[in-house]
């Protein structure tokens, strides 16, 4: 249940720009390396939007239909090849975002989405519009942008409700004739096409929004001037475009929005100043040096964008545009602002970043409606006290402003939610900062702060705090003793911290903690209480994180296991010789990237090794079941030998085992063969899975029936055990086909899958562990033992260990497993201990004290470095 509430905390109102702006109760699970949906999700019945962006190859459970309020599903960049079956059952769905899935096909069953009004197929590598789209009669908005050379159908008359069509960047030379049939169109997006528009465009008389940015236009196409309903026209990035006088003819009655960004204009054509209805004018990125007095005619202007122009001064008439709510002047070499800016009393959003301002006029204090002020990159050394009058301010960016102090009046900005002070030579902060009780995001990085005011810890809404690169030697205990308990993201990189206050671990909401490059000596024992934290970086501290994952490579003899792992780890085809068989198990390490090390257990496939294998199958491992696709026959017997047997073993030994099936030797198979065989494996797996479930249910029933007469073990306990097995089924994360022979294939995909699975905190929640340096050194010392020839030969391993584990590299392997919780348990640990004078009493006392029989690091992590243990090691 704890995890449900955590997921619940992530549910937020979010603005989706789909049918115009829409605010939906959204759960954002984007980029979480999910392979499956978390179970807790299905309890969040209220959510209206689910964002799964970037979870590649995610498998959507049918339980998704429980979310009956779901209106929007975003599957952007999920590497989908088809629309997941459950999506077709979400008949209440109104918006489906499938953009950036460039292998996707749309099945006919999608026609069941009878309420779908928005379909986003941008950048899906579509060569034509999928047939089923024409059946989605409720569609209002269809996005087909970034599908280069897409051919449009001859007839789209079934889409009677279509009001918006996006064909941006489709490499269109002319407007597809079918578009002219869509008489209800109100929005047409044709940007980034070198398109010539036909005169018939005027037939689309309902067009309100027309986007023609970056279309290489030299003038406004005459047809556009006839669109009498036009409200919004985007002509940005058409360098040197001519604006004819006619622009203010028919159009001027309705046109509210004109975008002329990056059109190379040195002077703005007079016709623009005659468009007196304009509410939004975007002139950014034009090399204009001055603006004429005529700007004052645009009395309806609410939004004026002049970012990245070359304005040294602004005409006094501009300050008469008192309707302005949004003014962007970023990156103009203004140097000063006149006091008249104080007349813009309706302004809410003001961007003055990078304007080379040395001072701000006191009259700024009159802009009391201001909610968003960006002053980044200005050589301001002080702020006027009047800043305290801007009491509606929510977002204030003062990054890189050369500020040495902040006026105490800042404390009056009690609505402030976002404050950026990065890269200012601030040595202290005023105590008044503690009054900003609505603050959520505070960036104090790269200042010169030696201490933080204790009042700061009253910011109880604070979720994101960056104090990195400040010479802070300590953090006050108030950090957690106060009310700063909502913090989710805390960056303490490069802060000269030697210790952390133990109270820090009361920050129960913490999800992201960066402690890089601090001379930390220890971590408080309370570390274990940081239950929510999913990212912690301790690099360049004297502590390190350990992310080791056991990868067990299983499968029949000659399946290609050893060749696969060698090829993966060396990045080039490395096949074994025919006589080069693996004996029992070989253990090696492979670090595919700097964040993770796989401890690879490569099993010998010969039948005689099957029994000892069982000792090595443990929880918390990724099992790669390798199947020789060349030899595989689509028969029950072949399945049982190559797959079924191994899964049965795993299922019995390790409930909830995580398995990836790897079909090997695809170089020896045809494409259809690969397809048929993998399908066969998947189908038989489903049958096997169902048989397990039925079998266990049957056993539970029998047990209940026989309970009264049952002798021997406690039937209730057995029943609970069976139920546990039932609720923790084996997890198949996918079937991947590879060839290790030159030229290799499928290996990159498999590697990415392994890394993604390893990083999936739902699958391997305990992967990342924080180990004090001493632990790591100890492990290393044990590890080094394997290079000593005497170990294991005439001292050490008990005979049982020797007989069951003997292999070419068996002894060393058992050592490397010590301390990393991947291995044999107390047997090898205590024998190593006694060899090296750690004293078996010490190590066995560790085990028995804490009730563990397995390895050291599991003791450490599970117990939060129980002090008795670390003192034992230290001593
Ligand atoms: N053509 C081809 N041959 C392969 C491929 N992978 C492995 N082989 C060959 O198949 C044979 C068995 O490969 P191994 O990698 O040793 O198989 P294994 O699963 O480790 O076998 P055991 O250690 O006996 O369990 C060797 O002769 C390899 O050269 C492949 O992708 N393509
Ligand atoms: Mg082998």
Round the average pLDDT of the chain to a whole number and report it. Answer: 83
Tokens of 144: 């087909």
- 560 and 531 in a common domain: no
What stretches of 451-511 adopt beta strand conformation (E)? 464-466, 489-491
Mean pLDDT of 128-134: 96
Identify the weakest region by mean pLDDT among 198-202, 479-483, 771-775, 838-842: 838-842
Residues 739 and 612 in one domain: yes
Is 665 near ligand 1, meaning CB less than 6 Å away? yes
710 domain-assigned: no
- Is 547 touching ligand 1 by the criterion CB < 6 Å? no
Contacts of 694 (CB under 8 A, 6+ apart): none
Q: Is residue 329 part of a domain?
A: no
Put residue 171 in one of left, alpha, beta given phi > 0 → left and psi -120 to 50 → alpha.
Answer: left
User: Rounded to an integer, what distance in angstroms lies between the CA atom of residue 813 and that of residue 827?
Assistant: 14
Distance 568 CA to ligand 1 centre (A): 13
- Does any domain span residue 232? no
pLDDT value of residue 454: 83
Interstrand relation of 596-603 and 585-593 (parallel, antiparallel or unpaired): antiparallel
State yes or no: pLDDT of 814 exceeds 80.
no
Ranges 1-15, 234-248, 411-425, 570-584: which has the least confidence: 1-15
Residue 651, pLDDT > 70, answer: yes
Q: Do residues 1 and 127 share a domain?
A: yes
Q: Which of 105, 133, 162 is the last residue of a domain?
A: 162
**pLDDT band (50, 70, 90) for residue 578:** confident
For residues 807 and 854, state if they share a domain: yes
Atom 14 of ligand 1: nearest residue by CA position: 560
Of 117, 133, 162, which closes a domain?
Answer: 162
Q: Is the CB of 134 under 6 A from ligand 1?
A: no
How far apart are the CA of 621 and the centre of ligand 2, in A? 19
| Distance of alpha carbon 539 from alpha carbon 594, whole angstroms | 11
Q: Is the CB of 652 under 6 A from ligand 1?
A: no
Residues 416 and 496 in one domain: yes
Residue range(s) defining the domain that contains residue 478: 403-541
Are 484 and 584 part of one and the same domain? no
Q: Are 129 and 104 within 8 A, CB to CB?
A: no
Nearest Cα to 296, choosing from 281, 280, 312, 316? 316
* Number of domains present in the structure of the chain: 4
Q: How confident is the model at residue 7 (pLDDT cuts 50, 70, 90)?
A: confident
The residue out of 119, 143, 162 marking a domain boundary is: 162
At 691, give phi and psi (nearest 5°). Answer: -60, -40
For ligand 1, is residue 320 a contact (CB within 6 Å)?
no
Say which range, 26-40, 333-347, 767-781, has the weakest mean pLDDT. Answer: 767-781
Same domain, 556 and 529: no
Helix (H, G, I), strand (E, B) or coil at 553: strand
**pLDDT for 531 beyond 70:** no
C-alpha 664 – ligand 1 centre gap (Å):
9
Domain-located, residue 507: yes
pLDDT tens digits, 353-406: 999 999 999 999 999 999 999 999 999 999 999 999 999 999 999 999 999 999
Asked if residues 337 and 311 have their Cβ atoms less than 8 Å apart, the reply is: no
Could you identify the atom of ligand 1 that is nearest to the CA of residue 578? 27
Query: What's the rounded mean pLDDT across residues 208-232?
Result: 94
**Ligand 1 close to Cβ of residue 808 (< 6 A):** no
Under the banding of pLDDT at 50, 70 and 90, the label for residue 772 is low
Q: Is the dihedral of CA 74, 78, 83, 86 positive or negative?
A: negative
- CA–CA distance, 180 with 648 (Å, rounded to integer): 61
Q: Is the pLDDT of residue 780 over 60?
A: yes
Statement to judge: residues 515 and 598 lie in one domain: no
The string over 149-179, giving b where at least 16 C-beta atoms fall within 10 Å of a residue's C-beta and e elsewhere, is ebebeeebeebeebbbbbbbbbebeebbebb
How remote is the CA of residue 628 from the centroid of ligand 1, in Å?
9
Is the minimum distance from the CB of 739 to ligand 1 under 6 angstroms? yes
286 pLDDT exceeds 90?
yes
Q: Of residues 848 and 381, which shows the higher confidence score?
A: 381
Is it the case that residue 94 has pLDDT exceeding 80?
yes
873: three-class secondary structure by DSSP:
helix
83 has a pLDDT exceeding 80: yes
Give just the sign of the alpha carbon dihedral 201, 204, 206, 212: negative
Ligand nearest to the CA of 630: 1
Residue 528 pLDDT exceeds 60: no
Residue 569 CA, ligand 2 centroid: distance in Å: 14
247: tokens are 């622009």
Ligand nearest to the CA of 554: 1
Query: What's the confidence (pLDDT) of residue 186?
Result: 97
Q: What is the pLDDT of residue 752?
A: 92
Q: Are 622 and 552 in contact (CB under 8 A)?
A: yes
- 702-721 residue pLDDT tens: 776 666 555 556 667 777 77
| Ligand 1 in reach of 744 Cβ (< 6 A) | no
Domain co-membership, 15 together with 138: yes
- In this structure, is residue 251 part of a structural domain? no
Tokens 């029936």 identify what position? Answer: 705
Task: Go through the chain and tell me how many residues it has.
Answer: 875
Q: Token pair for residue 578?
A: 């025919």
Cα 121 to middle of ligand 2, angstroms = 45
Separation between Cα atoms, residue 554 and residue 552, nearest integer Å: 6
> Are 36 and 152 members of one domain?
yes
Give the residue among 565, 562, 516, 568 at the shortest CA–CA distance from 542.
Answer: 516
Are 3 and 136 found together in one domain?
A: yes
Residue nearest atom 32 of ligand 1, based on CA coordinates: 665
Cβ pair 534, 555 in contact under 8 A: no
Contacts of 719-723 with C-beta under 8 Å, sequence gap 24+, read 722/696
Quick one: pLDDT at residue 535?
64
Does residue 746 lie in a domain region? yes
Burial environment of residue 866 by CB neighbours within 10 A (0 to 12, 13 to 18, 19 or more): middle
**At 59, which CATH number?**
3.80.10.10
- Residues 244 and 225: beta-carbon distance below 8 Å: yes
Burial class (CB in 10 A: 0-12, 13-18, 19+), 667: middle
Pair of tokens at residue 285? 């990125």
pLDDT at 646: 93
In a shared domain, residues 468 and 507: yes
Q: What is the mean pLDDT of residues 717-731?
A: 75
Residue 872 has pLDDT above 50, yes or no: no
**Region 468-478: what's the mean pLDDT?**
85
Mean pLDDT of 62-87: 95
Residue scoring higher pLDDT (138 or 705): 138
Residue nearest to atom 27 of ligand 1 (CA): 578
CA atoms of 691 and 688, how far apart (whole Å): 5
φ and ψ of 228, to 5 deg: -70, -20
d(CA 208, ligand 2 centre) in Å: 67
The average pLDDT across 3-20 equals 79
229 within some domain:
no
CA distance 826 to 814: 11
Q: Which of 188-197, 413-422, 784-793 has the lowest mean pLDDT?
A: 784-793
Does some domain include residue 357? no
- pLDDT surpasses 80 at 172: yes
Whether the per-residue pLDDT at 841 is higher than 60: the answer is no
Please give all residues whose CB falls under 5 A of ion ligand 2, grouped by chain where several chains appear: 561-562, 582
Contact 610 CB / ligand 1 (< 6 Å)? no
DSSP 3-state assignment of 44?
Answer: coil
Distance 822 CA to ligand 2 centre (A): 20
CATH assignment at residue 604: 3.40.50.300
Q: Between the ranges 19-28, 304-313, 582-591, 831-840, where is the mean pLDDT highest? A: 304-313
Least confident of 331-335, 584-588, 739-743: 584-588
- With a 6 Å cutoff on the Cβ, whether 667 touches ligand 1 is yes
- Ligand 1 touching residue 575 (CB < 6 A): yes
613 Cα to the center of ligand 2, angstroms: 14
């Amino acid at each position: 249940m704890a995890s449900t509430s955590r997921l619940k905390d992530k549910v937020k109102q979010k603005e989706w720009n789909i049918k115009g702006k829409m605010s939906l109760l959204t759960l954002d699970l984007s980029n979480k390396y999910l392979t499956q949906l978390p179970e807790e999700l299905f309890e969040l019945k209220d959510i209206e939007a689910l964002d799964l962006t970037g979870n590649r190859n995610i498998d959507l459970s049918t339980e998704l239909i429980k979310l009956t309020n779901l209106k929007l599903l975003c599957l952007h960049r999920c590497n989908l090849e088809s629309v997941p079956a459950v999506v077709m059952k979400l008949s209440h769905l109104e918006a489906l975002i499938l953009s950036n899935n460039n292998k996707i096909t749309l099945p006919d069953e999608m026609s069941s989405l009878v309420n779908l009004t928005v379909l986003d197929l941008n950048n899906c590598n579509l060569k034509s519009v999928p047939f089923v789209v024409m059946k989605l009669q409720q569609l209002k908005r269809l996005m087909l942008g970034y599908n280069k050379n897409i051919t449009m159908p001859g007839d789209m008359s079934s889409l009677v409700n279509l009001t918006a069509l996006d064909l941006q960047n489709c490499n269109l030379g002319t407007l597809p004739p079918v578009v002219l049939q869509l008489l209800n169109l109100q929005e047409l997006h044709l940007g980034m096409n070198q398109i010539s528009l036909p005169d018939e465009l005027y037939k689309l008389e309902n067009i309100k929004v027309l986007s023609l940015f970056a279309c290489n236009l030299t003038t406004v196409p005459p047809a556009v001037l006839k669109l009498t309903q036009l409200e919004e026209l985007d002509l940005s990035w058409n360098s040197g475009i001519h604006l004819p006088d006619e622009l203010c003819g028919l159009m001027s009655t309705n046109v509210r929005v004109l975008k002329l960004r990056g059109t190379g204009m040195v002077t703005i054509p007079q016709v623009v100043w005659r468009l007196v209805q304009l509410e939004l004018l975007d002139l950014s990125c034009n090399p204009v040096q001055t603006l004429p007095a005529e700007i004052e005619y645009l009395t309806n202007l609410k939004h004026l964008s002049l970012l990245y122009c070359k304005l040294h001064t602004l005409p006094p008439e501009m300050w008469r545009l008192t309707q302005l709510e949004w003014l962007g002047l970023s990156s103009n070499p203004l140097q000063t602002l006149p006091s008249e800016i104080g007349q813009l009393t309706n302004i809410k959003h003001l961007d003055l970043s990078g304007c080379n301002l040395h001072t701000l006029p006191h009259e700024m204090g009159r802009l009391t409606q201001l909610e968003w002020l960006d002053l980044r990159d200005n050589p301001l050394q002080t702020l006027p006290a009047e800043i305290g009058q801007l009491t509606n301010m929510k977002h204030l960016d003062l990054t890189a402003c050369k500020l040495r102090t902040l006026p105490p009046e800042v404390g009056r900005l009690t609505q402030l939610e976002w404050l950026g002070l990065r890269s200012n030579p601030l040595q202290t902060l005023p105590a008044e900062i503690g009054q900003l009780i609505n603050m959520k995001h505070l960036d104090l990085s790269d200042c010169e702060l030696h201490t933080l005011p204790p009042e700061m810890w009253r910011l109880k809404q604070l979720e994101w705090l960056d104090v990195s690169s400040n010479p802070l030697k300590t953090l006050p205990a108030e950090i957690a003793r106060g009310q700063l308990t909502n913090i989710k993201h805390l960056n303490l990189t490069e802060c000269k911290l030697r210790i952390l206050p133990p109270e820090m671990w009361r920050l129960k909401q913490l999800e992201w903690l960066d402690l890089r490059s601090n001379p930390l000596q220890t971590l408080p024992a309370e570390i274990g209480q940081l239950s929510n934290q999913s990212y912690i970086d301790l690099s360049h501290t004297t502590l390190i994180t350990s992310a080791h994952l056991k990868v067990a490579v299983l499968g029949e003899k000659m399946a290609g296991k050893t060749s696969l792992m060698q090829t993966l780890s060396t990045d080039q085809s490395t096949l074994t010789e025919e006589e080069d068989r693996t004996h029992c198990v070989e253990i090696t390490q492979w670090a595919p990237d700097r964040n993770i090390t796989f401890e690879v257990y490569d099993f010998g496939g010969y039948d005689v090794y099957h029994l000892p294998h069982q000792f090595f199958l443990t929880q918390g491992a990724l099992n790669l079941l390798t199947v020789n696709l060349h030899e595989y026959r689509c028969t029950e017997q072949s399945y049982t030998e190559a797959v079924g047997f191994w899964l049965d073993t795993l299922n019995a030994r390790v409930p909830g085992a995580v398995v990836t099936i790897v079909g090997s030797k695809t170089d020896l198979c045809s494409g259809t063969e690969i397809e048929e065989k993998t399908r066969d494996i998947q189908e038989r797996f489903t049958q096997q899975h169902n048989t397990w479930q039925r079998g266990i249910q049957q056993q539970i029933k029998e047990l209940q029936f026989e309970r009264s007469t049952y002798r021997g073990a406690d039937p209730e306990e057995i029943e609970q055990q069976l139920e546990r097995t039932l609720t923790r089924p084996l997890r198949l994360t996918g079937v991947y086909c590879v060839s290790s022979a030159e030229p290799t294939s499928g290996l990159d995909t498999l590697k990415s899958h392994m890394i993604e699975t390893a990083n999936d905190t739902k699958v391997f929640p305990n992967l990342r562990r924080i180990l004090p340096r001493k632990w790591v050194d100890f492990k290393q010392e044990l590890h080094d033992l394997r290079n000593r020839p005497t170990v294991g030969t005439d001292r050490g391993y008990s005979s049982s260990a020797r007989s069951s584990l003997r292999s070419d590299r068996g002894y060393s392997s058992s050592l490397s497993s010590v301390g990393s919780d991947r291995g044999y348990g107390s047997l090898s640990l205590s024998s190593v201990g006694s060899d090296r004078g750690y004293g078996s009493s010490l190590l066995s006392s560790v085990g028995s004290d804490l009730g563990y029989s397995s390895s050291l690091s599991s003791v450490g992590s599970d117990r939060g470095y129980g002090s008795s243990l670390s003192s034992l090691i230290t001593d």
